[in-house]
Amino acid sequence: MSSYIEPAANLSEAWLRTVEHVANEGGHAVNVITTINDPLAPETEGIRAALDAVLAVPRKKVRVQPVETVAGTIFPRDIYADTGIMFVPGMDEESLAKLDASAADLYECYGEMLPILTTDSANRRGTYFGRMVSWPGKTGGGANQLADRIRHFRSARTRNVSQRNLEDIAIAGEAETGDPLDGLQIYAASDLREYGFPCLVHVDLTLYQNHISMAATYRHQYLVTKAYGNLLGLSRLLSFLAQQTGYEVGELMVNATFADAEHSNYTKAGVAELITAARGAA
């Protein structure tokens, strides 16, 4: 049965409400909708600290990464030289050049990193951000979906368009058909392989009342080891898109087609302790 989590003001509370709900459902749930009203609102430090403490302990059965590492797979903020400049139609050439250069440098730097990143077994099929900026995400020089979407949104902003739903970012697909810049990737009918990666399969961007909102679909959302970092990375990606296009940031919605509280990795009691610690610090 699908579940709609009460929308939260920031990503920390949205994550905690989702974990609480799925844990109460027995540890698993299907089609769980999590919504953040303001993805750029400050995190709740206590909730983040409670999760960081759990993730700092190595586990034998699961590969554990810090929240920032997970977030960086979706948007590598550490290599983005943020100019603090926001796109405005008719802006002066010098400011526009600086804004464009910051994005171009990000794409180029990440493209140069991809061959190294994909030597890690976890990245052998590419990375999330790599698939966004250099489809299919194993080397640089591929189709840059982000640059294309930014170009489309800037055109709309210049024409004073305040609402549209024509943009998306494909993540899934190996033996796909169609052009990756045309939208959602689909598997070829002859492709009988099963895929564990990527868990994030699609990102949809909707412009409404001059705000860009984002909807992301995960086929398997690991709520302890991945979900918080995923929400943080998606929020940063949305902020980047808004800055580069001149629109405001709208809401962030994530649909986990299968949400997993990871009782098998952390035990039911362990997840309950995490929830108690996070809720007590909220």
User: Which tens digits make up the pLDDT trace of 157-195?
Assistant: 999 999 998 888 988 754 344 444 444 344 444 444 444
The full set of domain ranges for the chain reads: 3-281
168, 184 contact by CB (below 8 A): yes
In this structure, the strands spanning 176-177 and 164-170 are unpaired
The Cα–Cα gap between 233 and 37 comes to 16
pLDDT for 28 = 98
C-alpha dist (Å) from residue 112 to 107, 123, 212, 228: 9, 15, 29, 27
CATH 1.10.287 is held by the domain 3-281: no
Instruction: List, in order, residues 6 or more apart from 234 with CB less than 8 Å away.
Output: 39, 74, 75, 203, 214, 216, 252, 254
- What average pLDDT does the segment 198-224 reach? 95
pLDDT for 32 = 98
For the whole model, what pTM was predicted? 0.91
Neighbour-count burial of 228, counting CB atoms closer than 10 A to its CB (0-12 exposed, 13-18 middle, 19+ buried)? buried
Encode pLDDT of 85-112 as tens digits: 999 999 999 999 999 999 999 999 999 9
Encode pLDDT of 137-148 as tens digits: 778 888 999 999
